[in-house]
Structure 1
Amino acid sequence: MGKFSTYRYLELKDDTSTSHINVRTRSIKQPRRLKKIFIFLLILALCVTYFLGMFAGQAQWFDGLAKSLGYESVYHHAVIIDAGSSGSRVLAYKFRVPFTVFGQPNLDLVDEYFEETKPGLSSYVNDPEKGADTIVQLVKKAEHLIPFDKRRVTPLIVRATAGLRLLPKEKALQLIDEVAKAITKLGYDVGTNSVEIMDGSDEGIFIWYTVNLLHNLIDGETMAALDLGGGSTQITYQLNDQDKKNFPTSDIYTVPAGGDNITLYTHRFSSKELAKLNMSNEKMQKRLQERFLWHTPFKCNQIEHEHDVTHR
């Protein structure tokens, strides 16, 4: 009986030792297994992020996929009046907001409408009501693009340029006030700053934005822009930090571009200044180069490049 008990004790002891080893082995294997799972999930997350990042710049791919899954696009509209010195133009736009994964979505232009009337708003300096009516008629011509139920949330912006800047201040403000009163009756989103006389520097900056956005250069090496208007001419281009000291501070502006701030130089020539110069195109080009461009190299479209342009 004693031998049997001793044998049983040894057997139980061996079983306990084996069980202890098995538990220890499982406890060692479990963290290793969790570590492998963690590494796998980490690699999977990195791969997904990488591929999503590749497609993030391909908004059309994501947008097309979203539409196939039933995504409903959101549409926005805007009506802009350019009250220039030689004529007034209406530019109506229809945009859609595409589906996007990363960042803020860009607006896709779906449709647009353009119409022009002459003479310019400044020609009605002695008849502000008639001048305002020309603007109203332009807006009405674009109504086919703006659904009636969307007009109250559609911004209507009027910007007058050199034609009104050259008028006596009181006369110019009378025209602006009459236009503001007239367009508030059309049912659009019209605010206190919807009708204004644009500063010459704003004209230059906006044309610079237009040129570089159309060429997709905002984030890279930008181009200069020369706006030849009926009552003024603006020249605008980007400056680096070293060039700032060569220009008057009144012609230097800091503006947002590509997620950062950049410095632009813009200068306006009035029609009177240009008339006083009385130069040929060749002499004018030389004058501009000597005065503005001698120390600031930038890219331009190729001189020998030709293409047809249709002005509507």
Structure 2
Amino acid sequence: PPQDWLMVAVAVALCQALIPLPCKHEPDFYGVMFDAGSTGTRIHIYKFIQKDPVELPVLDNEMYHAVKPGLSAYKDNPEELLKIAKKTIPEDEWKRTPVVLKATAGLRLLPEDKANALLKEVREVFDESPFFVPNNSVSIMNGTNEGVLAWVTVNFLTGHLYSNTRRTVGILDLGGGSTQITFLPKSKKTVHSAPPSYIAKFNLFNNTYQLYTHSYLGNGLYAARLATLGALGADGRKFRTFYHLFCVLTQKCFSVILLISFSRRWQIICYAGYKLCYYEVMKVIKGIVHQPYEVKGSSIFYAFSYYFDRAVETGLIDSSRGGRVEVRDFKKRAKEVCNKMAKYRAISPFLCMDMTYITCLLKEGFGFKDNTVLQLAKKVNNVETSWALGATFDYFRNLNIH
């Protein structure tokens, strides 16, 4: 009957107008997520296929691109990356495709007025673009959401969210300004012994999850370097005045000699090998990082970002395949790097400190045993391991993280 066709036409029109949820007659849809981190801005362009509205969508593919430095240093990054989105997404899909930018530790560490000014400029760029710009499309993401959404990404890509067994994997993310740990506790003792703010609940596809998760602002790799050197407070925020930082490598010291001026007073710091370096980085971790009860068991953890990068640079894993390592492997390689700096000199003058910090963070911070196995991955099923895919799900489905 004519009225039925009219109802169908109205439904289709509403579906198109109420973007972003995909319409049933158009199973393909796109999402654009910007990750504005402390050391770079990345764009993730996802194409999904929604075969059944009550089931998980299928991720057809991801287009990923990154630029440096971070948004806090170069505000034109989003405008450059939007050009890539235009080339990737069909033009007739632009007005239906949401663009969202989430800033992480790099902007969380900035003064509030400066961070808000940067976000305002990004919003103006988005508003002038041909894409769909939802409310709150540009914001600073809190640390809890960063950990939870990274967990969603990895467990979606590994197929654990499809399973009814509730078996999942934990995640360890080491960025430049912050680090996150997130996992689904098996033991009530883990939940009861954790600070209340370390437990987060959210809803996803008719399931409620209760995760242990925390983000340590100031314990990212770059922030930890500064804190270890005394140029940054342990919380990652309190900068001390320093006028010059000069690094040279010497075989005699087997490590980094640093000539530093703090408040016009010069001093030389020399970390002679692994043990002294470990002692210094422990000051940035001990008493700050909470040790969850359950990581001492047999939980499986995926580790990525700088965990992956430093493992590649020191030859622990292959850059294309990733791989499994034990915590003791980081420790062993850290000792080698610190005691044979001439061999690793060309890679980075901070490699000894970075590898020692990772070892200390895993052992003294989170409490992992030497034989704990970590799966190091940059991608799973050819998709980047980060919070971006989880954040896209959050946008489309509203996970109600609390």
TM range (shorter): 0.5 to 0.7
Q: Is the 8 A contact 1:90 1:138 kept in 2?
A: yes
Displacement after TM superposition at 1:265 (Å): 1.3
The one-letter amino acid of 2:108's match is R
Corresponding position of 1:233:
179
Distance in 2 between the 1:307 and 1:223 partners? 12
Q: 172, 184, 187: which one pairs with 2:130? A: 187
1:18 matched residue in structure 2: none
- Alignment match, 1:88: 41
* Percent of aligned pairs sharing the same letter: 33
Aligned to 2:168: 222
Quick one: which amino acid aligns to residue 83 of structure 1? A
1:77-131 superposed Cα distances (whole Å, 9 cap, x missing partner): 1111111110001111222222x5xx7143222332111111000114xxxxxx1
The residue that corresponds to 2:214 in the other structure is 267
Distance change >3 Å, CA 151–CA 252, structure 1 → 2:
same
> Which residue does the alignment assign to 2:90?
147
**Counterpart position of 2:309:** none
Cα distance per residue 1:239-280 (max 9 Å; x no partner): 344432201111111112463212111122223574547748
Greater CA radius of gyration, 1 or 2?
A: 1
**Partner amino acid, structure 1, of 2:31:** A
- Is 2:119 the counterpart of 1:176? yes
Q: Distance in 2 between matches of 1:295 and 1:107?
A: 32
> Distance in 1 between the 2:35 and 2:143 partners?
14
Q: Does 2:65 correspond to 1:115?
A: yes
Select the structure with the greater relative contact order (CA < 8 A; seq sep ≥ 6).
2
Shift of residue 298 of structure 1? 4.5
* Closer, same or farther: CA 267–307 of 1 in aligned 2, 3 Å: closer
Aligned residue runs from structure 1 range 93-108, under 5 A:
93-98=46-51, 100=52, 104-108=54-58
Q: Give the letter for the 2:61 counterpart.
A: D
1:275-297 deviation line (CA, Å, top 9, x unaligned): 547748x979x979x94244453
- The alpha-carbon deviation at position 211 of structure 1 amounts to 1.8
Partner in structure 1 of residue 291 of structure 2 = 292
SS in 2 for 1:209: helix
Question: Scaled by the length of structure 2, what TM-score is found?
Answer: 0.51
CA–CA separation in structure 1 for the residues paired with 2:71 and 2:150: 21
Q: CA deviation at 1:186?
A: 0.7
SS in 2 for 1:122: coil
Q: Gapped runs of 5+ residues in structure 2?
A: 1-23, 229-276, 302-323, 327-372, 385-402
Gaps of 5+ in 1: 1-70, 125-130
SS at match of 2:184: strand
Which secondary structure does the structure 1 equivalent of 2:73 belong to?
A: helix
In the superposition, relative to structure 1, how do residues 309 and 192 fare at CA in structure 2: closer, same or farther (>3 Å)?
closer
Aligned length: 230
Counterparts of 1:78 and 1:243, CA distance in 2:
35
SS of aligned partner of 2:291: helix
- Give distance in 1, aligned partners of 2:178 and 2:213: 13
Q: How does 1:31-110 map to 2 (within 5 A)?
A: 74-98=27-51, 100=52, 104-110=54-60
Contact 1:85 1:163 survives alignment (8 Å): yes
Q: What pairs with 1:249-264 in structure 2 (closer than 5 Å)? A: 249-257=196-204, 259-264=206-211
* 2:362 aligned residue: none
3-state SS of the aligned residue for 2:81? helix
Cα distance change on mapping 1:104 and 1:195 into 2, 3 Å: same
Query: What is aligned with 2:148?
Result: 205
Quickly say closer, same or farther: Cα 1:83–1:291, change in 2 above 3 A. closer
Paired residue secondary structure (2:215):
strand
Per the alignment, residue 106 of structure 2 pairs with 163
TM-aligned CA distance change 1:184 to 1:242, over 3 Å: same
> Normalization by structure 1: what TM-score?
0.64
Moved more, 162-171 or 88-97: 88-97
Q: Say if 1:309 and 1:295 are closer, same or farther in 2 by CA, change over 3 A.
A: closer
